[in-house]
Structure 1
Amino acid sequence: MLFASSAAIADFTGFGYELSTVENSLGSWCVLDLYAEFDDVTDNMLSCLNMDIQLNGGACFYNAGAPPFVPQSLIPLTNVPSADEAFAADSYITIGNTQQAASNGTNADPNFADNCDNVGVNGGWFNLPPDNGQGAAATGRVFMGRFSVTTEEALAGASLSVSGQVAFNSGQNIFDDMGTVFWIPAPGAIAMLGVAGLVGSRRRRG
């Protein structure tokens, strides 16, 4: 799904998301992948800032971990085996790369709070070095993070509120308020959980 910025300007057009499910021998989760959407494929996302990301109606984002060696965290871990079931739905922030990628250059701002249900007041993260290609909008979007809750929490009405700014290589920082999104957006989507595992579709606002 794509939500156009409330003050749509060329290049960054707003936050978007896709919903899916993960089910394995360890449990079942509903997953929201957050994206920055662009209308210029030459754009390069540098950072997001002044972010307000809040879980509503749930205890915590699902965070895998194996303390004390692998602590539960929204900071991406680069030493996680891709086949590890515990991390299949793990929540994490990023700019344009998967958690398992050793090249992931995502770093948290000093005001980022690694809380279990939010990123703090005006939290942010950035890509370093900025020219590593990670933030390239070649597909029209840049992956910003994965936020997961248990299927039980999703069915009970858990939702995610998102607003903040995106900085990129051309133009000014642009603010967007995506509003509140439910992991289960409509009754018909519940049936889809057991069929295709996909509970989101793409549309444009405004």
Structure 2
Amino acid sequence: LEGLSALWIQRFDREEKGNDMNVKRFMMIAGGAALLTTTVAQADFLGLSADIVGTDLADDGTWTARIYADLSAGSRLDAIYGNADNPLLMGTSSSLYQNTFGGDTSASINPALYAAFDSLRYDSWVTIGLEDQGSNALASIGINFGADSISSSDGSWYITPDDAQGQEIGGRVLIAQFTSYGYDSVLSGSISMQGKNADGSNWSAESVSYEFALPAPGALALLGLAGFAGRRRRRA
């Protein structure tokens, strides 16, 4: 399964009103493993998606996923936040893998340590655009980073509009990597975001909820795979 993107079945229902567009995005991993419904008032934010990185990479019985904000061409993401009306929560139905040499955000990940501690590559963290500390301008304030969940009712992780890492690449901006214990565990949460459209105007999306899980074995069969093929590694 390593390097395999989750297989998505997608349907878009769009209702145009003047220059605004209400977008409802329905996503499901084949086999019924995950469901995401998003409603926003801007066409430039398209929803959230996830790629499955692999299984048993950080520790036995774990699976690793990366979560992305999907944006239209030329758009960017500048902040992920929670407030009193739209609290932020991200976590798992089981527990998250936390590497001893890792950190809460990608700005704490030192790639020079990968050679000695390969499982550091699969630490759980949040970000905007980058997977390690190289040229990473990410900052955070008011975020509660717990062992197995992230929450805030008055906080954000963010970059400035001048930081290149917030720009979409291939229609996506990386926002988190999570390694969860238990193949049947579910990654879920609700986040709010803001950024800029290609024309320089602002966009925002509040209380965007998601659920992601490993594809069912039948879904992997559709891709011509016999089953999961993850490397086994121990935590550092």
Q: TM-score range by the shorter chain?
A: 0.7 to 0.9
Q: In 2, Cα distance between the equivalents of 1:189 and 1:85?
A: 29
Greater Rg, structure 1 or structure 2? 2
Letter of the structure 2 residue corresponding to residue 173 of structure 1:
S
Aligned residue for 1:199?
A: none
For 1:166 and 1:25, the matched residues in 2 are separated by 29
1:62 and 2:97 matched: yes
Counterpart code for 1:54: G
Pick the aligned partner of 1:132 from 138, 150, 163.
163
Separation of aligned partners in 2, 1:63 and 1:25: 9
Moved more, 15-24 or 140-149: 15-24
Picking from 48, 59, 63, the partner of 2:80 is 48
How far apart are residue 75 of structure 1 and its match?
A: 2.3
Query: What is the Cα deviation at residue 8 of structure 1?
Result: 5.4
Please give the TM-score of this superposition, normalised by the length of structure 2.
0.66
The one-letter code matched in structure 2 to 1:193 is: F
Q: Aligned letter for 1:53?
A: M
Q: Tell me which amino acid in the other structure corresponds to 2:74.
A: T
Given that 1:7 and 1:176 are in contact with CA atoms closer than 8 Å, whether structure 2 keeps it comes out as: no
Identity of aligned residues (%): 21
**Partners of 1:133 and 1:7 in 2: CA distance:** 24
Distance (Å, rounded) in 2 between the aligned partners of 1:7 and 1:92: 25
Q: How far does residue 35 in structure 1 lie from its aligned partner after superposition? A: 0.5
Evaluate the alpha carbon distance shift between residue 25 and residue 19 of structure 1 in structure 2; reply closer, same or farther with a 3 A threshold: closer
Contact 2:58 2:122 in 1 (8 A): no
Q: Relative to 1, partners in 2 of residues 1:126 and 1:118: Cα closer, same or farther, differing over 3 Å?
A: same
One-letter amino acid of the structure 2 residue matched with residue 44 of structure 1: R
Change (3 A) 1:113 1:195: closer
| Superposition map of 1:1-206 within 5 A | 1=8, 3=36, 5-7=38-40, 9-23=42-56, 27=60, 29-39=62-72, 41-50=73-82, 51-56=88-93, 58=94, 60-65=95-100, 70=101, 73-76=103-106, 77-81=108-112, 82-83=114-115, 84-99=117-132, 101-110=133-142, 112-122=143-153, 124-127=156-159, 129-150=160-181, 153-154=182-183, 157-169=184-196, 170-182=201-213, 184-188=214-218, 191-194=226-229
Structure 1 residue 92 displacement after superposition: 0.9
CA distance in 1, matches of 2:39, 2:209: 9
Q: TM-score, normalization: structure 1?
A: 0.75
CA distance in 2: counterparts of 1:141 and 1:89, whole angstroms: 20
Match in the other structure for 1:200: none
Of residues 8-17 and 137-146 in structure 1, the stretch that sits farther from structure 2 once superposed is 8-17
1:20–1:32 contact (8 Å) kept in structure 2: yes
Deviation at 1:22, TM superposition (A): 4.8
Q: What is the CA-CA distance between 1:17 and the residue it aligns to? A: 0.9
AA aligned to 2:168 is: A
Q: Per-residue deviation at 1:63?
A: 1.1
Aligned length: 180
Question: 1:179/1:78 Cα in 2 relative to 1: closer, same or farther (>3 Å)?
Answer: closer
* 1:124 CA displacement: 2.9
